[in-house]
Homo-oligomer: A and B are copies of this chain.
Amino acid sequence: MNIHKFVMPEIIFGNGSISEVGNCCLRLGASNVLIVSDRGISEAGWLDVVIDSCVKAGLKYETFIDITVNPKDTEVDKGRNIYLKYGCDSVIGIGGGSAIDAAKAIALLATNGGVIHDYEGVDKIKHPLPPQIMIPTTAGSGSEVSQFSIILNTEKQKKMTIISKSLIPDIAIIDPETLVTKSSHLTASTGIDVLTHGIESYISLAATPLTDVHAKNSISLVAKYLRPSVASKLNKEAKTNMAMASLQAGIAFSNAILGAVHAMSHAVGGRYPILHGDVNSILLPHVMEFNYLANPQKFADIAYLLGLNDCDISKMEAAKKAIDLVKELIQDVGAPQRLSEIHVKKEEIPQMSLTALNDACMITNPRDVTVEIIEELFRKAW
């Protein structure tokens, strides 16, 4: 075993925990906070809950709610300008992965200067970030605990992956009650994203015993609770467990990194304004079919975590079952299954394959890839 490192923020988890955000800011020494979010969260009323908690704690605040799906360098610029203009000293991000990734990127620029493109890649951040508190509302991205921020380079139509321990927030507040305002489509899409985080981090070349326990638990929670969570907005047990699944998958992938599904998904998301979870849902079974050779034991484990009940089959048979069980789950929750369905153009495959090959997430994929292999996987998924 090589030396491995594991780090995560302080976690506050539970119904109603969102109201603790103001006091958390105080505890971190904040007095004037920039709240970063999107219009959907604002309309659902969650922004008001955050503002209310900040006001009660005696904090000054500004809001910036213009973040869109697959957050853009231009949005990060605007947010940084507001932060500096109003002399903010801390950042709250509330929303899905887009809002949180943008909030982290704004915090990064606030103390490090320059433009977000300067920080693409691993460990490019020099100065500490201001206090950051993140509140996920989708049970999907895991960004609230991760050392990742994925920002779209609008000029090059390419997602930039920024990785640094500095991007790990100080506190992550996970309140399952925020999940009841999600549509069933968004629940399915973000749920499959969680599953993808769990599976890719479990089979990652950088997986460790500390990441494995969280990855495994997230997979079995998704297997048990994603279907009922998609079925009913009001199933609190399902929502709470999907929030926990998302958190644990986030802890796992922040430390074990991901694999080919995410590398390829970033390449698609850079060109199309499509939900990240929908792209993962399409790619995951195909990448699993390619990857299972790399670690049959862990694929067999995944099959049992997903509910395989047959102890009399061989390890290789169990490993293959993992792929069938993932396909079934994707079908059951109505997530998309083909790139053509979401209007990805076939002629863009070669360019997207090149982009995917160079994505930071590809480094930890358990099976070696070439650009030809990625093209073939994209074609199978088309």
Per-residue CB contact flags for chain A residues 1-25 toward chain B (1 = under 8 Å, else 0) read 1111111101111111100100000
> Which chain B residues border A244 with CB–CB below 8 Å?
209-210
> Which chain B residues border A12 with CB–CB below 8 Å?
3-5
- A217 contacts the other chain (CB 8 A): yes
Min C-beta distance of A5 to chain B, whole Å: 5
* Contact residue among B5, B10, B13 (Cβ-Cβ distance under 8 Å from A11): B5
Expressed in whole angstroms, the Cα–Cα distance for A314 and B217 within the complex equals 25
* Contact residue among B20, B165, B210, B216 (Cβ-Cβ distance under 8 Å from A248): B210
- A197 contacts the other chain (CB 8 A): no
Min C-beta distance of A351 to chain B, whole Å: 39
- A234 contacts the other chain (CB 8 A): no
Expressed in whole angstroms, the Cα–Cα distance for A135 and B350 within the complex equals 50
* Contact residue among B5, B7, B16, B209 (Cβ-Cβ distance under 8 Å from A217): B209
Closest residue on chain B to residue A10 by CB atoms: B7
* Contact residue among B11, B20, B216 (Cβ-Cβ distance under 8 Å from A7): B11
Closest residue on chain B to residue A7 by CB atoms: B10
Expressed in whole angstroms, the Cα–Cα distance for A16 and B10 within the complex equals 28
- Which of under 10, 10 to 19, 20 to 34, or 35 or more describes the interface residues of A? 20 to 34
> Which chain B residues border A26 with CB–CB below 8 Å?
none
- A213 contacts the other chain (CB 8 A): yes
Expressed in whole angstroms, the Cα–Cα distance for A104 and B244 within the complex equals 32
Grouping DSSP codes into helix (H, G, I), strand (E, B) and loop, the A interface class, with mixed when no group exceeds half, is mixed
- A214 contacts the other chain (CB 8 A): yes
Expressed in whole angstroms, the Cα–Cα distance for A255 and B217 within the complex equals 18
Let me know if A14 and B3 touch, CB within 8 A. Answer: yes
Let me know if A248 and B213 touch, CB within 8 A. Answer: yes
Min C-beta distance of A111 to chain B, whole Å: 16
- A189 contacts the other chain (CB 8 A): no
Let me know if A6 and B10 touch, CB within 8 A. Answer: yes
Let me know if A3 and B13 touch, CB within 8 A. Answer: yes
- A70 contacts the other chain (CB 8 A): no
- A291 contacts the other chain (CB 8 A): no
Closest residue on chain B to residue A176 by CB atoms: B1
- A240 contacts the other chain (CB 8 A): yes
- A208 contacts the other chain (CB 8 A): yes
Binding site for B on A (CB under 8 A): 1-8, 10-17, 20, 165, 208-210, 213-214, 216-217, 240, 244, 247-248
Since A1-B240, A210-B247, A213-B213 are in contact, a sample of 20 more A-B pairs with Cβ atoms closer than 8 Å, ordered by chain A residue number, is A1-B13, A3-B12, A3-B13, A3-B15, A3-B16, A3-B20, A5-B10, A5-B13, A6-B10, A6-B11, A7-B10, A7-B11, A8-B8, A11-B210, A13-B210, A209-B217, A209-B248, A210-B244, A210-B248, A213-B248
